[in-house]
Amino acid sequence: MRAAAWSDTGSDTPPGAWVVRDETLGAFVVSGYDEAARVLREPGWSSDPRRIAGRSLAVPPGVLLFLDPPDHTRLRRLLSPAFTPRAVGRLRPRVAAIVDTVLSGLFADADEADLMAEAAYLVPLAVIAELLDVGAEGARVFREHTPGLVRMLEAVPTAEDVERGAEASQEVMMFLLPLLVERRRAPGGDFVGALAATDGLSLEELLATCVLLLAAGHETTANLIGNGASALLRDRAQIERLHADPARAVEELLRAEPPVRLAGRVALTDHELGGVRVPAGSRVVVRIDAANRDPRRFADPGRLDLSREPLPHLAFGGGHHYCLGAALARLEAAETLTRLFGRFPDLAPAAPEPRRRTSTTFNGWATLPVRARRSSA
């Protein structure tokens, strides 16, 4: 169990305490929107945990999330065309078909189900398995090793987190290596073929990108779906607004219930942030959940309103590390949530207190029991 010096919602942050030093974490905790946006968007901050003063951590090589410019800039430029909203939009029919298949089995044998295990995690897993063209065996490998992979994405990683993440990364890479070597020889016209055929992308970088897509894309999207479903079950009046404008609804769910709670950075130079001096080499933890509820930025920030006029939020980070798969996560969430509540309009919680996922970084449910009448749709 990891100790955490913050609440789940960030609503307990005292006004004005937007940057504080937390000695337990050995980090500066940033909770205000403007201050968080500066850390995420401005130069002078690193995403490489090896730069933390006084710490020695090994991270998998070539992972975009841990790279700084110019390496990050080069790799991001190569990968971006495959993840633009237009490119992702072409996947909508396949994502919709995957969602329908998953939902068809949700209550096939019982009137109760765990929405996380039986839908929220299955949809992005199936989408990624199809994008990478790995078949049923690949989906099994991915499902087995994803829990280890996501440990390397903790904003405050322990040595064990990094070790387990590296082990899982190695297993997935060994599985993917022969498939990707073959796709580089004969790319084809699909998503992974386009990645494999990208000029200037080394095999090591291609492998690392696939691992990151699996780890970050799978966990983030599953949490977004689970958080969105849970919020709508608590406030059913919002479901009509979801169906009226799914894209706007997903933006509000991202703001109010972000799938990633924290982002870690390292100060490369001395900074003054919210009136607090942050020396070079300091670890900084950005509280995305609190920044997205900063009353200086969002009116009545604790209220969920799926018709709210969207303002830029930080659920997918910001700056050059803005989530590469954001458009895909939005698409999967919109398709899953609208089809879920369309197919099961009587969906209801099956437990008063679902169990939260244990993580410093990810904001989601470990389980989310729901019930509904069986449907033949």
- The 10s digit of each residue's pLDDT in 287-331 is 999 999 999 999 999 999 999 998 899 999 999 889 989 999 999
pLDDT bracket for residue 12 (50, 70, 90): very low
- Stated as kind and residue range, the H or E segment containing 362 is none
Which domains are delineated in the chain?
Answer: 22-356 (1.10.630.10)
Res. 61 pLDDT band, cuts 50 70 90 = low
Q: Which of 52-66, 238-252, 337-351 has the lowest mean pLDDT?
A: 52-66
Question: Cα angle vertex 206, ends 202, 212, to 5°?
Answer: 140
Q: What is the pLDDT of residue 156?
A: 64
Average pLDDT of span 111-137 = 92
Q: Which of 279, 225, 219, 273 is nearest to 249 (CA)?
A: 225
Closest to 206 in 3D by CA, of 189, 182, 227, 240? 182
Confidence category of residue 55, pLDDT binned at 50, 70, 90: low
pLDDT of res. 155: 66
Res 135 pLDDT > 70:
yes
* pLDDT value for 346: 93
Residues 152, 216: Cα–Cα separation, whole Å:
10
Q: Tell me how far apart the alpha carbons of residues 257 and 292 are, in angstroms, rounded to a whole number.
A: 9
Q: Check whether 92 has a pLDDT greater than 70.
A: yes
pLDDT at site 327: 94
For residue 188, pLDDT beyond 70: yes
Residue 356 has pLDDT above 80, yes or no: yes
The pLDDT assigned to 160 comes to 85
Over range 232-242, report the average pLDDT.
96
What pLDDT score does 376 carry? Answer: 47
